[in-house]
Amino acid sequence: MKILSVNAGSSSLKFSLFDMETEDVIASGLFERIGIEGSAYTIKYNGEKHKGEALMKDHTMAVNLLLDKLHELHIVESLDEIGGVGHRIVNGKDLFDRSVVVDDEVMEKLESIIELAPLHNGANVAGIKAFQKVLPNVPMIVVFDTAFHQSMNPESYMYAVPYEWYTKYGVRKYGAHGTSHRFIAETVENIYNRKDLKIISCHIGSGASICAIKDGKCVDTSMGFTPLAGVMMGTRSGDVDPSIVPFVMKKEGIDVDEMLNALNKKSGLLGLSEVSSDMRDIESEVEKGNEKAKLAFGKFSRRIVDYIAQYYVLLGGADVIVFTAGIGENGPLTREDVCNRLECLGVKIDPEANNKRGSLFKISTEKSKIDVYVIATDEELMIARDTYNLIK
């Protein structure tokens, strides 16, 4: 069976087409600038990139174009080969603790919670509707970034604010990157051939979150009501004193939207370094002796270590620490700095192993009290697996 794994953005549509017998990616691609002048697409297939420009006024036009190209490039000979479409949903509130088949009731619930992630959930729903129009007889599955975190207890997910904010407005921690953290948990369980493990999963990219996992379930995670909370990120501040918000708004004469924009898009590595949100640029400036870059690099590691240490105590120890996502998978200097700061917990890494590249490798030494791995995450595959299993 062939499964499409889809991630719809406000003006984009990413996809991967899987052969579920082998779990190999047949083709993948990106349709961008949907609804904007200059819309274009890129499709990777058989080691080649197929690029082009085409009018895409909305997601339905993008989906039609995608399916036309799959047929035109002989990626599929018939659309009947597509057995299901799995859609990523950023925030499922506390309404969904697992992936589900889309029906009218599910769509109604999805539309009721768009406000919790307006830039993402609205686009995700638009993507589902577009595929439903074009492939009306193909099962649609929704996979939630927040579902894995629904195993947290109230002590972890509640905020110390008026309780009625939760009952009236759903103000609580929801987390993010749950599909990635679940992939890491299952991969580690397969490595050790057991489920009774204490894992600290570090999804570190332009967006970053840390997750405490015990016996295959999330105990706590660093992102909160929105993906702005937690560790410092590429352009996001992570946790800050909330009193800073009204203080700076008054000083700068800015409104709420401008403040949120500053915390989401002008903070983090970019804000502290005043150089870039890209860790590669930060590391380059550190080598040149740039003090602000050094501060940003050090603060980034420090915040990750803060959460790892917190979750080490919460879990009562840790069997495995995993680095994943863009920086986690490709940033040996960040991994080294984080692990060196964890030496008091008995973490010891092999510098030579840490400089390797690959989808799964161990960087800790035999003397390390905690095993440390680098594992390439695969959220698209998890979406495809859930879709395939629910259809079966």
Q: Which fold has domain 2-144?
A: Nucleotidyltransferase; domain 5 (3.30.420)
Residue 195 has pLDDT above 70, yes or no: yes
| Position 113 confidence tier, pLDDT thresholds 50, 70, 90 | confident
Residue 182 has pLDDT above 90, yes or no: yes
Higher pLDDT, 122 or 259: 259
User: Alpha-carbon distance 313 to 343, whole Å?
Assistant: 15
Q: What is the per-residue pLDDT for 130?
A: 85
Q: What is the mean pLDDT of residues 168-195?
A: 95
Residue 205 has pLDDT above 80, yes or no: yes
Is the CB of residue 374 less than 8 Å from the CB of residue 358?
yes
Choose the most confident range, by mean pLDDT, from 27-36, 130-139, 308-317. 308-317
Topology agreement, domain 2-144 and domain 178-379: yes
Rounded to 5 degrees, what angle do the CA atoms 244, 247, 248 make? Answer: 85
Higher pLDDT, 116 or 275: 275
- Homologous superfamily (CATH) of 178-379 is ATPase, nucleotide binding domain (3.30.420.40)
Q: Is 145 a catalytic residue?
A: yes
pLDDT tens-digit readout, 36-70 = 888 899 999 998 999 998 888 888 888 889 999 99
pLDDT tens-digit readout, 345-371 = 999 999 999 999 899 999 999 999 999
- Domain boundaries in the chain? 2-144, 178-379
Q: What is the per-residue pLDDT for 114?
A: 82
Residue 119 has pLDDT above 70, yes or no: no
pTM (two decimals): 0.92
Q: What is the per-residue pLDDT for 60?
A: 87
Distances (CA, A) of 368 to 196, 217, 305, 339: 20, 24, 17, 11
User: Alpha-carbon distance 108 to 130, whole Å?
Assistant: 16
Q: What is the mean pLDDT of residues 104-115?
A: 89
| Position 310 confidence tier, pLDDT thresholds 50, 70, 90 | very high
Q: Which of 19, 97, 145, 337 is catalytic?
A: 145
Q: What is the mean pLDDT of residues 141-147?
A: 94
Q: How far is CA 103 from the centre of its chain?
A: 25
